[in-house]
Copies of this chain bind each other. A is one copy, B any other.
């Protein structure tokens, strides 16, 4: 089962726009270990290439946010995720 990193990133961005290291920090809080840049940036690149996120650069900071098709993709992925793991959440 794979594709969850992208899903989690889209989910986190649906809460608020974030830059790369903020995403890494939040994922680190949830997983107990902060992912390396080698995990985050290729994943962001892939989501951008898929048209699910857009960037806004200011100085050295690139803020990522969902595009309309990213929101749609997240919606679909959420339903799939919920169905796949039905019963796992307490």
Residue in chain B with minimal CB distance to A86? B30
Alpha-carbon separation in the docked complex, A86 to B83 (Å): 16
What copy number does this chain have within its complex? 2
**How distant is A84 from chain B, measured CB to nearest CB, in Å?**
5
B contact residues around A1 at 8 Å (CB): 2, 4-5, 8
Interface majority SS on A: helix, strand, loop or mixed? helix
**Interface code A1-26, partner B: CB below 8 Å = 1, 0 otherwise?**
11011001001000100000000000
Question: Considering the complex, which residues of chain A in the window 57-81 have a beta carbon less than 8 Å from any beta carbon of chain B?
Answer: 78, 80-81
Other than the known A8-B85, A32-B83, what 6 A-B pairs have Cβ atoms closer than 8 Å? A1-B8, A11-B85, A30-B86, A82-B89, A82-B90, A89-B89
